[in-house]
Amino acid sequence: MIDAARRMLADGRRVVSFSGAGLSAESGVGTFRDAPDGMWANYDPARLASPEGFAADPKLVIDWYAARRRTVGDAQPNPAHLALAGRGDILHVTQNVDDLLTRAGADGVISLHGSIDFDRCHAGCGHEERVDMTDPPGLRDCPACGAPLRPAVVWFGEPLPSSDWLDAEQACRDCDVLLVIGTSAVVYPAAGLIGLAKSAGAGIIIVNTHQSDASGLADVELLGKASEVVPALLDEPARPR
């Protein structure tokens, strides 16, 4: 199976990677839906990752993100991040809000669900600033308009950043191989990119520890840990874009 996937990658001219929380799991950044310790098994996403939850208890939300920020700040890219970053010919689209792929050296990562290492104005005045992940801020106001600042991530019920979404859609429509890594493929619209690539004629390679909602779309599905399987897949030299 892995040889078939490597051949697809070797023949691919426009390869896109599409990743989820499983890519960063071995860096110590928890996933959301893996039982028993997936984040949403222990925390209520409606209370912690939604505008309604923020309105109801902003301090609870900001304190929870502060803990996540420390975790991400202490985390290091794993061999899967490094292998992906080492392939300048692959365009990376991620659902992850951590910066591990960028810290591994990848350029131009499209982060569909935002970036946990930034705060932005909740009222949308445009103010945005990087935060210190080792000493994350508490609840505070936007210096530009006085509204609350909140993590620059996409909460449930919020739209994805339109330019990132359009770029990701175009990349998945144009690619000839989509390498899907560590996602349950249950959160839309992001998960819809896999079907979009498939219907546009791309070959689909999935790397995941378990079967997912995208398994039926896979041309090759490799069940294993990202840090082991992805380097084995990608150790070919990069080609110019």
Sign of the CA dihedral 59, 64, 65, 70? positive
Strand order in the sheet with 128-130: 128-130, 114-121, 149-153
- Judged by CB under 6 A, which stretch of 61-69, 82-90, 161-169, 203-211 contacts ligand APR? 203-211
113 a catalytic residue:
yes
Q: Does 33 bind ligand APR (CB under 6 A)?
A: yes
* CA–centroid distance for 64 within its chain: 19
Catalytic residue, from 92, 113, 122, 127: name it.
Answer: 113
CB of 211 to ligand APR, least distance (A): 8
Q: What is the DSSP letter of 187?
A: S
Q: Does 164 bind ligand APR (CB under 6 A)?
A: no
DSSP lists the bridge partners of residue 208 as 223
| Single-letter code of the amino acid located at 82 | L
Q: Does 17 bind ligand APR (CB under 6 A)?
A: no
Q: Does 38 bind ligand APR (CB under 6 A)?
A: yes
Among 116, 187, 220, 233, binds ligand APR (CB under 6 A): 187
Query: Tokens 């979009």 identify what position?
Result: 196
114-121 vs 149-153, strand pairing mode: antiparallel
Distance between CA atoms of residues 46 and 23, nearest Å: 24
Q: Does 241 bind ligand APR (CB under 6 A)?
A: no
- Judged by CB under 6 A, which stretch of 51-59, 159-167, 171-179, 180-188 contacts ligand APR? 180-188
Q: Under rule CB under 6 A, which residues in 111-140 are in contact with ligand APR?
A: 113
The most distant pair of C-alpha atoms in the chain lies apart, rounded to whole Å, by 56
User: Which residues of the chain form contacts with ligand APR (CB under 6 A)?
Assistant: 20-22, 25-26, 31-34, 38, 95, 113, 182-184, 187, 208-210, 212, 225-226
User: Active-site residue numbers?
Assistant: 113
